[in-house]
Structure formats: C-alpha cells, structure tokens
Amino acid sequence: MMIFGNLFTALNLKGVNYCCLPVTERSNRGKMAAAASMMPYFAQQISSKNDLVPDWMGQEVSTGTTIMAVEYDGGVVIGADSRTTTGAYIANRVTDKLTPIHDRIFCCRSGSAADTQAIADVVTYQLGFHSIELDEPPLVETAANLFKASCYRYREELSAGILVAGWDRRKGGQVYCVPIGGMMVRQPVSIGGSGSSYIYGFMDSNYKPDLTKDQCLDLTAAALSLAMERDGSSGGVIRLASISEAGVERKVILGNQLPKYSTH
C-alpha cells in the first residue's frame, strides 16, 4: 500500500490525474514507482552484505548548496555554486541550480535535488498556464506563492529551500525566500543552503541598500566564493544571472578564477 500511496502522491504533485491515465500507462508508472521506492531498500541490503558497495549508494542526491539573490534598482542578481552530493560522494561538479521558471523569473534550489526539481517543474507548468490565461507575463510574487503553496502542502515529505527572484512591470526586481516548511517572505537580499551559515557575517558587513548591478554581481561572487572555501557541500563553479526588463544575462566563474580567502 505504501508503494501505491507514494505513486498517487507523486502523480498528484505533478498535476496528473491518475484515474485518467490509460491502463498501460498506469501499469508502467506503477512499475517505475515501485522500482524507485525499492532502490534504497536494495542498496541497504547489498551494502550490509558487501563491504565493497559504498555507503552513498543508499543516499539521496542533495544539492548541498550555497545560493544567493540580491535586489538592485531595475532588477535582481542571483547566484549559486554547482556541487551536487550523494552523501560524501560528489555526484556532479557543474550542476545548474539556477532554474528558469518563466522568461524573467528564476528560482535557486537547495535541499534534495529530486524534490526541488519536481517542485520547479510543477510551478513552471502552473505559471505557464496562468500566463496564457492572463495573456501577459506572470508576476514574480505569483511564482513565489505557487512555490509556497506546494512546499507547505508537502512540507512533511519535501526537503526544498527555494529563492524565487525575477522582474515584472508591477514591482520591478524582487527576491522571495521560501524555506523548508513553506513560509514566504520578500527580502532585499537572501542567502540559503548549507554554505549560507558561513557568510551571514560577511553579508551583514558588506551588503548596503541601493547597490548597482555590478556591485551586486561582485558581492554575490565574493560571498559564494567564501562559502565554497568553508562548506564541504558547496563547490565547483559559480553561476550568476542578472534579471531585468532587458532580459537575462548569465555568467559562469570557473574554479581557477574564484577569489581565494584561505590563508593556507
């Protein structure tokens, strides 16, 4: 029964009416969900009988993460590291944690990679239909509220911390924080993920209102570099994006180009 319960939850989360699926598709999805739900069990059983199987095989993929978003006059700057981990194993060094939701709306993802990707897919789907119905680009606040609704509804099952940032004609550049549990609050600057605990003091000392776009880019790059120096779950490259009325500009800072803060 647990397998079918998980399947119904997954399909409902994706906006799929299970009862409307063809029998063959229902059967295939049921088999896939059953197999996925049994993978941690099999990995645990194999690990207990074979010391050659690493412990990380039974753990979920996590974005680890340091994410950041800053408002400036006319837009927002967002940034994130690129390391994805499975336990102590680095599964991907160059993950893109800056996920487009609409033309001028992005989210920064931290927590479980599967959970955050699923939530982002759902919100992208819902926001697309909302934009078609209104025949105009959606509001950033609307996207943030959709994230809040999904994260709150499934707060017991999900591990997802989201920063929603973007630009719209009504309020300009905006940053909304949606932490685990489904709360939503607008902030001029917001940081999240495991690496954020290392840079709160840095942000308190260096962030000032009315920063320019270039100053926000420099501040974001410096903060992320500092977090990546100290946090074992953050690393790789830095991905940056600025979002304004003119569109989206993206930038990548490679590992050998990052500012260095350690003294050893």
pLDDT digits (tens, 9 = 90+) for 7-26: 444 445 444 443 444 444 44
Measured CA to CA, the distance from residue 35 to residue 140 in angstroms comes to 37
pLDDT given at position 16: 43
Greater model confidence, 42 or 233: 233
Q: Where are the domains of the chain?
A: 2-58, 61-257
Predicted pLDDT of residue 22? 43
* Of 229 and 106, more confident: 106
**Residue recorded with tokens 């300009």:** 172
The pLDDT > 90 percentage for the chain reads 61
pLDDT of residue 88: 76
Could you give phi then psi for residue 11, rounded to 5 degrees? -70, -40
Q: Is 70 exceeded by the pLDDT of residue 63?
A: no
What is 61-257's CATH number, 3.60.20.10, 3.30.360.10, 3.40.50.2020, 1.10.1530.10? 3.60.20.10
65 is catalytic: yes
Catalytic residue among 65, 85, 116, 220: 65
Q: Among residues 138, 155, 74, which one has the least CA distance to residue 100?
A: 138
pLDDT tier for residue 92 given thresholds of 50, 70 and 90 = confident
Q: pLDDT tens for residues 20-56?
A: 444 444 444 554 455 555 555 545 554 444 555 555 4
Mean pLDDT computed over every residue of the chain: 82
CB 72 within 8 A of CB 173: yes
**What are the φ/ψ torsions at residue 130 (nearest 5 degrees)?**
-60, -40
Structure-model confidence comparison of residues 149 and 54, the more confident one: 149
